[in-house]
Amino acid sequence: MKPGMLLGAGALLALSFAPASARTVLFLGSSFTYGAHSAAQHYHPELVKDLNGPDRNGETYAGVPAIFKQFTLEAGLNDYDVSSELVGGKGLEYWFTVPDTLARINKPWDVVVMHGFSTLDQAKPGDRTLLLSSSKQIAAMFLKANPNARLWLFATWGRADQVYPDNAPPVWKGKTPQQMGKDVQAAYEQAVKEEPRYAGIVPVGLAWNRAIDSGVADVNPYDGLDANKVDLWAYDHYHASSYGYYLEALMDFGKLTAHDPLELKGKDRVAEALGISPAQSTALMQVAHDTLAGSK
């Protein structure tokens, strides 16, 4: 199989929706999207329109949206106009509680990629009820503004801090990050089943699982880093490292553009800027390719 070709029925379906004209893209989310605790947070913010504007330090967020934009440019896709609305520690329900914010995002976007809180419900980890209701509500809003909008839910990764520590919540304590990733993915799959107007899921958590299971990434950051593996988590074992955000952006690139992440091999400049070696970036591109090939 040559690089540039995605395998599987899901990939073939995605290719049928390849963009034919300029697209406005909104990334709606939290610190899991703006690249908290990593160099990704500061990667070329000029590539993205941060709808929040500068923070109190005069900075705007870059993160995964900026990396995604750079990937599109490297792939010769010059028609993606990327914006972001990102607030740390929030789920999809948050956007309906702040009128000014709601006014900024309630527009006829062509594409929106968004996610809920990383434990599904901050107050009740593992409970998908709030995700299901808020994902329906926000889909209705975006589709009212643009009935042809392509809406994607980003299924987040398993958090090591929810699995290994003695004080971890009981829902995942003693399990594996991969199991948490599968549980989160299942919740998003239910959300898409209940609101079938979603274009689908960006299965970032499953990509993390594949990276771990295939030996690219370390499974337990609490016991040290295994040789020749990357740590997908940041120092808090909660957020992503630059490797994790890079993989997240590769998954967004594949799903939103229907292009194979392996197309970026040999011409990607993001990895070098983030301190990711050519071998590591190629391995992560392969993980994204394989995950996308098996997803719907």
pLDDT digits (tens, 9 = 90+) for 3-17: 444 544 344 334 334
Burial 132-141 (b: 16+ CB within 10 A, else e): bebbbebbee
Q: pTM here? A: 0.92
Question: C-alpha 264: how far from its chain's center?
Answer: 18
- What's the CA dihedral at 206, 208, 209, 214 to 10 degrees? 120
205 and 184 Cβ atoms separated by less than 8 Å: yes
Cα–Cα distance, 273 to 27 (Å, whole number): 22
Which pLDDT score is estimated for 22?
64
Ramachandran assignment for 268, one of left (phi > 0), alpha (psi -120 to 50 degrees), beta (any other): beta
pLDDT class for 62, splitting at 50, 70, 90? Answer: very high
The answer to which of 12-16, 145-149, 200-204, 211-215 has the lowest mean pLDDT is 12-16
113 and 161 Cβ atoms separated by less than 8 Å: no
In 3D, which of 124, 125, 218 has the Cα closest to residue 172?
A: 125
- Interval 184-194 mean pLDDT: 98
Per-residue pLDDT reduced to its tens digit, 29-60: 999 999 999 999 999 999 999 999 888 788 89
What rounded mean pLDDT belongs to the chain?
93
Domains of the chain from N-terminus onward:
22-293 (3.40.50.1110)
Residues 6+ apart with CB under 8 A from 89: 30, 31, 117, 122
